[in-house]
Structure 1
Amino acid sequence: MDFDLSWLLLGLPLAFVLGWLASRLDLRQLRFENRQAPKAYFRGLNFLLNEQQDQAIDAFIEAVQNDPDTQELHFALGNLFRRRGEYQRAVRVHEHLLSRADLNRADRDRAQHALAQDFLSAGLLDRAETALQKLEGTRYENEARLALLAIYERSREWAQAEAVATKLDASDQASYAARRAHHLCEQAAEHSARGDADAALRLLQQAAQLAPDAPRPPIDTAALQLRQGRAMEAWTTLSGLSRTAPLALPLYAAALQQAAQAAGEQAAAADLLRARYEAEPSIDVLEALMALEATGGDAPRDRYLEHLARQPGSLLAASRWLAGETLRDDARTHPPVQRALDQVARPQMRYRCAACGFEAHQYFWHCPGCQAWDSYPPRRVEEL
């Protein structure tokens, strides 16, 4: 059978025309889609700038549907969800990004970091810990370590906190020596509570080496030595601390007085406390000094009046002086006056965090309110 070339001559132009029409249709569709995605994206930005988060989310969802491969839209949408407190939706967005095989390393690390932030914001600390640990070796490494440190400190996992703080210390961006010393002191307290005094003392010695100027390791060491009946060692520890950290003396004045009495160093301790009180009056230092000066079991109560002369507004001194006095003229007035004065004076006995203002009757090295370290001045509220 002969092949008719006329069909070939007719078919080539027809194929060309059909191909051209198909390409035009594809190009129009592509242009339409490209116009739709930027419009939705910029509309979302406009809503966001006007603080209309609901409309911004709707616009970004539309943009993602038009162009599901755009990572930036996913990140913007995930961040919006997190800011609105819709943590589950934020997690789904970032987990979707991490599941994509075509995501490059930088965007994968960014998505992992965003996912960790989602879990932190939602208070899911165990899942946040796992997500943050995966950022080791990335450009988010230090930020992840800081977040892990906060998690471990909040959950009182002191060994893990100390390990993370050691890595941060090695990065040379800031010194974490004082913070690590606190972690070791916390671990020492746990060992001491379990009856392992030797392990506690070893940890306290490490803490003192890490932060030689910090008052906590010697204070905790002296307290442990007193419980073990090693009064002379406790006196030596605290008298040495009085030279390196005199401002913290109100915190350990009572322990110093007990150690001095047990070790027969009352005169030296009285001189030390008297000198510090003259430099900076404090009710805690005063009462330790009064305990040392007591004769026959009676403390010299005129000391409270002397303190009132130096600190006229001291409700603590007034309350404690009145508690030991007998009102001869009308004994019936004493109890209600005493109760009223005690009630007013009680808040003045607290310690106050300088960072957040949280007040407590107990002195904290680690503020329960803002989680700051060493934020409590070693003086009562009344004396600030």
Structure 2
Amino acid sequence: MDDATWFAAGLLVLALLSGATALDVGGPPIAGERTDEVVELRDGSDRLWPYTSKRHSFSSRTLAINLVVYADPATTRRLMTHRGDAEWQPTENETEDTDTASIANVEYDDSEDRLVWSDARGARRYTYVESPDGNGAWLEERYQLHDGSYLGARDHVRAYAARDGGWTALQAHSEHWDWFRLRHTVSGIADAQRRVEIDFMRTLSVDRVVRVYAGNGGTADGHGWISTIEVGTTVAALALAGPALARRGLDRLRDDARASAIALGPAVGPAGLYLAVRAVGVALETTFPGTSPKVFAGLLYPVIAVGIPASAALLARPHRPIRAFALVATGLGVAFVLDYAALGVAVLPIRAILHRAAVLVSAGMVAAVGATATADRWHALLVVACWAATLSLPLVGAI
């Protein structure tokens, strides 16, 4: 193996070690036992712990609750799913002197498309609520909604409410499907909150949208403000329009795939396979909405695991090793950038960035060995082992 290949191998090892040890600045801090960290929804009303949790435990805190609709869960759902051209799809303590911020003082681009909500699938999360008499209970989400696609990018909302409460708490966040981790990566909560606010502001039955400071800004990109939505009395008149299926994400992916076709050989093959997997996954999910998206993920993942290195090795044969390495790494890098741009993802955790760098180096090494006429089976086994390690570490939670 020449010096360039050994140098690439060293870069891969460094990237993997860095990814396994780096701090994930985008993730939520671990919270201890709750003390007085509850928000009184209204004077004399329920008090809400303004976070979600993986379990019935304050120590497994995840994302911040960022919206509260003063309506029961069924009414809130109707507002989000049956409003003119909008169709949300279902997916499998403040006192009087609390600071508030009028939404009228916040700049928004009202030209944004209406959100299209449908049923969502997602991991189970809980939140905690206390009644005025001090009795507390853990709440499981009543339903989940999303705008977008499971195998692409989406805004994802979980809805919570006490049995007798006249309110619905929402946790809204933006996320995208990561084909290397086989799970969703949350890219933030502020943008999703803003989009849901705008959607409610366009609804005739909503009297007022105000942000109330809850101090729950310690998770993801939370800023500590909860949007409160006051619902009027004309809700029933809004359940009018039929559903309209959003295909914006798939259209963007198709456009990006066409743009990437200007490259040749090793640059196009692995990159095209990666973009095709994203596009086909979203298309299958849209065409067969009754099937779990994880079925399609399982069917398509071998294209990532086997198709990318195989195409890199085969298409690299007419090239010199260094050129093959550069073409494959550059092509895949462009594909990753196009993919995240189409998904609307602007911020990634450090571990995700380091892992993508390791993927580029590992795929480039496969191409370099494939282009080396004198490469023996030990070289091939080395690069295959590096590729397998690159794929395995995020699946077992090491990255």
- Smaller-chain TM-score range? under 0.3
* TM-score relative to the length of structure 1: 0.21
Instruction: Compare CA radii of gyration and give the structure with the larger one.
Output: 1
* TM-score relative to the length of structure 2: 0.21
Q: Give the number of the structure whose residues are more often helix, by fraction.
A: 1
Q: Give the number of the structure whose residues are more often strand, by fraction.
A: 2
Q: Greater RCO between the two (CA within 8 Å, min separation 6)?
A: 2
